[in-house]
A and B are shown apart, each in its own frame.
Chain A
């Protein structure tokens, strides 16, 4: 079978073709190299920009009150603060054994969001190894954040789960110390002094919290709340907008929300966590809710 005749290529021509092919390769290589170089350069610029933003945010969080202080004063504060913390810690160690008992009897409303902060931190740490030196600043920030975030209960995974288990807050002596016990009452302005807990001698309940239905108001921001058994609790300014039921269980609080419930959420280990008292309470609660519903229905009919 005949085939197309290929012309014989002269050696010199082949060399020329070879050379032009190599020129093409070199040109491509140069373009690619330049692109890579540009991309590492802009990555570096981004790193610098990130560091700048980080400091900018950091300064905003600190506030002008602190920023105006001289380093001499800041260091003085640090040593003051360190010694105060030490004293409080020692005090707590001595007081702990005699007075500490678990404070049951208060519930907290569950709010399931927890990812926004950690997500943000995650994206920050993914920005590259070169910025690792500013990571401690973030740690510092997140450490501060986590103090307030520690009051936000952790929810079980699953965006739609209407039953949310949360860890019971155990009053930690150290966190109490750093958050609320450290005060310098003598040096504080009068209006702050009036609000501080040690000035409140006794609490007279205006309602009986033990009645089956009591109407409660939301805490005001920063208001000191006291649990029924007397110890102060931190009021959360996160306000629950939906009707829900919080049930104390073995190691936390179960929050039942007004969304359709899936039977798969009710596993045996969860059921085991209910004690007899709680079950009795739930029965009564159910009756009360039924009664309430009936009242609504009657009103709708009339």
Chain B
């Protein structure tokens, strides 16, 4: 495995571009997750500190002071009712064992670029699928409605 300084300027530029682009579009970086926990109730040496929460893939998703809900950036699982002895990774695994990030179970910096890109691909596909499911459901609903109207024409 080549060391960083063996990479060409072009490769470094490429790497730099990837980081910028992915960060801007997908908002998947740990750094942003850390920032989202502005008024988190637990301090840094507790098991579910901001850093540990962010490392385990969680974003703060609450909207008031007494709302401690957090959402996983990959599987979208929302968990609340956190206690200072809760281990974010363990809770994540317990409630969402199929999550791709849980299955990797490594913090961002330890993933290879390839694994990270796979994660991005997974997130994008999931996003597309969720969008599609909504569209599909609305479509089916409309079909049924039209069918009912047609049927009511019988006399």
Binding site for B on A (CB under 8 A): 15, 18-19, 22, 25-26, 29-30, 33, 36-37, 40-41, 44, 47-48, 51-52, 55, 58-59, 62-63, 65-78, 80-82, 130-131, 133-134, 136-137, 139-140, 143-144, 178, 182-184, 187, 189
Residues of A within 8 A of B18 (CB): 62, 74, 140
B129 partner, pick from A33, A37, A44, A73, beta carbons under 8 A: A44
Measured in the bound complex, the distance between the Cα atoms of B111 and A144 in whole Å is 25
CB distance from A55 to the nearest CB of B (A): 4
Contact across chains for A77 and B7 when beta carbons are under 8 A apart: yes
CB distance from A223 to the nearest CB of B (A): 17
B121 within 8 A of A: yes
A37-B140, A62-B14 known; A70-B5 Cβ under 8 A: no
CB interface residues, B 109-155, toward A, < 8 Å? 109-114, 116-118, 120-121, 124-125, 127-129, 131-132, 135-136, 139-140, 143, 146-147, 150-151, 153-155
A40 partner, pick from B19, B20, B136, beta carbons under 8 A: B136
A77-B16, A133-B128 known; A58-B117 Cβ under 8 A: yes
Contact across chains for A184 and B9 when beta carbons are under 8 A apart: yes
Beyond A40-B136, A76-B4, A136-B24, 18 extra complex contacts between A and B, CB < 8 Å: A18-B154, A22-B153, A22-B154, A33-B147, A37-B140, A41-B136, A44-B132, A52-B121, A63-B11, A65-B2, A65-B7, A68-B113, A70-B112, A71-B111, A71-B112, A130-B128, A184-B5, A187-B5
A182-B9, A184-B5 known; A72-B110 Cβ under 8 A: yes
Q: How many residue pairs bridge A and B at CB < 8 Å?
A: 145
Residues of A within 8 A of B117 (CB): 55, 58-59, 67
Binding site for A on B (CB under 8 A): 1-2, 4-7, 9, 11-21, 24-26, 108-114, 116-118, 120-121, 124-125, 127-129, 131-132, 135-136, 139-140, 143, 146-147, 150-151, 153-155
A65-B11, A67-B114, A71-B108 known; A137-B21 Cβ under 8 A: yes
Show 27 residue pairs from A and B whose CB-CB distance is below 8 angstroms, ordered by the A residue: A18-B155, A22-B154, A36-B139, A44-B129, A44-B136, A48-B128, A55-B121, A59-B114, A59-B117, A65-B2, A65-B7, A66-B14, A67-B114, A68-B112, A69-B113, A70-B109, A71-B110, A74-B19, A77-B4, A77-B7, A81-B9, A81-B12, A81-B16, A130-B132, A133-B127, A178-B13, A187-B5
CB distance from A14 to the nearest CB of B (A): 10
Measured in the bound complex, the distance between the Cα atoms of B18 and A59 in whole Å is 11
Contact across chains for A73 and B139 when beta carbons are under 8 A apart: no
Closest to A189 in B: B6
Interface SS of B by simple majority: helix
B146 partner, pick from A29, A140, A189, beta carbons under 8 A: A29
B109 partner, pick from A41, A71, A136, beta carbons under 8 A: A71
Contact across chains for B129 and A48 when beta carbons are under 8 A apart: yes
Top 10 A-B pairs ranked by shortest CB distance? A72-B109, A187-B5, A67-B114, A81-B16, A78-B16, A44-B132, A136-B25, A55-B121, A182-B9, A140-B21
A65-B2, A66-B14, A81-B13 known; A134-B19 Cβ under 8 A: no
Residues of B within 8 A of A47 (CB): 128, 132
B15 partner, pick from A25, A48, A77, beta carbons under 8 A: A77
Residues of A within 8 A of B25 (CB): 133, 136-137
B125 partner, pick from A48, A59, A67, A143, beta carbons under 8 A: A48
